[in-house]
Amino acid sequence: MSSPTPTSEAFTPVHAADIQAAQARISSVIEPTPLQYCPRLSEQYGAQVYLKREDLQDVRSYKIRGAYYNISGLSEEARAAGVVAASAGNHAQGVAYACRALDIQGKIFVPKPTPKQKRDRIRVHGGDNIELVVTGNTFDEAAQAAREDAAARGATIVEPFDSRDTVIGQGTVAAEILAQLTGLGHELDTILVPVGGGGLVAGIASYFADMSPRTGIVGVEPRGAASLHAAMQAGSPVTLEAIDPFVDGAAVKRIGAFPFEVIERNQGRTHLVLADEGAVCTEMLGLYQNEGIIAEPAGALSVAGLNLMNIQPDSTVVCVISGGNNDVLRYAEIMERSLVHRGLRHYFLVNFPQEPGQLRTFLTDILGPDDDIVLFEYLKKNNRETGAALVGLELSRASDLDPLLERMADSPIECRRLEPGSQEYDFIVSG
């Protein structure tokens, strides 16, 4: 049964023996995932880079490990009362899979931004054994609703990350990686792990603390939902006021108390970095176009972290591809965020004087030979001497921006750049 959220005084560490026992319990249901050598990233970073393909799980994410280990250990009485879970989507699929496999009834709460693809997969994996409830705008709101429901019905909460048993189950990823690398004759120098609620990185840190203490662990958080960074600065978990929900598998307002305790006790071997959401999108596209890997945003977090590290030459590095539950309908936004992050796409409000030939002047005197108009929305109002247009430009090179801005400054046509992250940008471009 899931352990309650601990205080420091009640904290019981996770050891390799706990994780090895969990591995033995789940091995009849959950097969090891491949550790795939990546020639492209290895050449790019001058190291031996491997990808741990947790996206190839039956539920397309590592979350099945902690969920199945949790639920399979319940007493008959607890099984009869059923289970409740809250999730951004991946943990829910693991719980749904376990409920069906063990013939237990489950009620699963997901927030409204959870992609339709994930909702559909939850229903597929759980079948008649689960009830899906969509509520709240964030994971934390869905989690509160789940706890209230569990308390009212006497059901067992299966925590997605803030539970010792969940951390133990997720730690089986580390056990597999170490065994696979040993079989290849390699020692692991660095592992990059996506961080949301902290269950995976805590499990991996616990296993390597006993079995490979020289391995450096890099936790990669999305910049728009950096709850672990905030907790490390404050000395304890804190609740972020707002988060960017784009990296939905890691968009958590508050790091789990148990994972935080584990990470804090492993600070000497753990390094934290923040990856921009746009960088995550760029790596998602890179994995898809080069390796044929359909990674969800959280699944590409670890690869986005490579560019933030000083990777030692010829070292052995593993990136955990944590999940592949990505909705194809999101790819337009993914491409947009990637182009903006790379400095190739920019938006402007252009105030055209109401005189003949002004658009021609814009095209010939302001635009460069390789600049492309990808959006043009004319916003002219009646009885005005000028007419505004929203213009989106895609550049061939990020370095082309400064010459473009200089030509705009020298032109009689008034042009104002919309800065990413500003209210105007979000309202006009993303709205």
10 domain residue, yes or no: no
Catalytic entry in 2, 52, 61, 63? 63
Residues 52 and 73 both lie in one domain: no
Residues 195 and 252 both lie in one domain: yes
How far, in Å, CA of 137 to CA of 236, rounded?
Answer: 25
Q: CA Rg, the chain, in Å?
A: 24
* pLDDT tens for the 431 residues of the chain, in order: 444 444 455 789 999 999 999 999 999 999 999 999 999 999 999 999 999 999 999 999 999 999 999 999 999 999 999 999 998 788 999 999 999 999 999 999 999 988 888 899 999 999 999 999 999 988 889 999 999 999 999 999 999 999 999 999 999 999 999 999 999 999 999 999 999 999 999 999 999 999 999 999 999 999 999 999 999 999 999 999 999 989 988 999 999 999 999 999 999 999 999 999 999 999 999 999 999 999 999 999 999 999 999 999 999 999 999 999 888 888 999 999 999 999 999 999 999 887 888 889 999 999 999 999 999 988 756 555 567 899 999 999 999 999 999 999 999 999 999 988 788 887 776 65
Residues 371 and 385 both lie in one domain: yes
Residues 271 and 391 both lie in one domain: no
3 domain residue, yes or no: no
The pLDDT value given to residue 424: 80
The pLDDT value given to residue 9: 52
Which residue range is the domain that position 379 belongs to?
343-429
Residues 291 and 372 both lie in one domain: no
Number of structural domains (the chain) is 3
CATH number at residue 88: 3.40.50.1100
112 in active site: no
Residues 279 and 369 both lie in one domain: no
Which of 127, 161, 195 is at the close of a domain? 161
116 in active site: no
Is there a contact between 178 and 189 (Cβ–Cβ < 8 Å)?
A: no
Residues 253 and 170 both lie in one domain: yes
Catalytic entry in 206, 227, 302, 322? 322
394 forms bridges with which residues in the sheet? 345, 372
CATH number at residue 398: 3.30.70.260
5 domain residue, yes or no: no
Residues 238 and 179 both lie in one domain: yes
Which of 161, 191, 216 is at the close of a domain? 161
Give the global pTM: 0.90
178 domain residue, yes or no: yes
91 domain residue, yes or no: yes
Q: Could you tell me the sign of the dihedral formed by the alpha carbons of 227, 175, 2, 98, in that order? A: positive
214 domain residue, yes or no: yes
For tokens 């471009």, the residue is: 429
How far, in Å, CA of 258 to CA of 173, rounded?
Answer: 18
Which of 305, 336, 367 is at the close of a domain? 336
9 domain residue, yes or no: no
Q: What is the largest CA-CA distance in the chain?
A: 81
Residues 259 and 379 both lie in one domain: no
Residues 51 and 187 both lie in one domain: yes
As given in the structure block, the two tokens for residue 235 are 């000395």
Q: Could you tell me the sign of the dihedral formed by the alpha carbons of 111, 220, 32, 331, in that order? A: positive
Q: How far is CA 341 from the centre of its chain?
A: 17
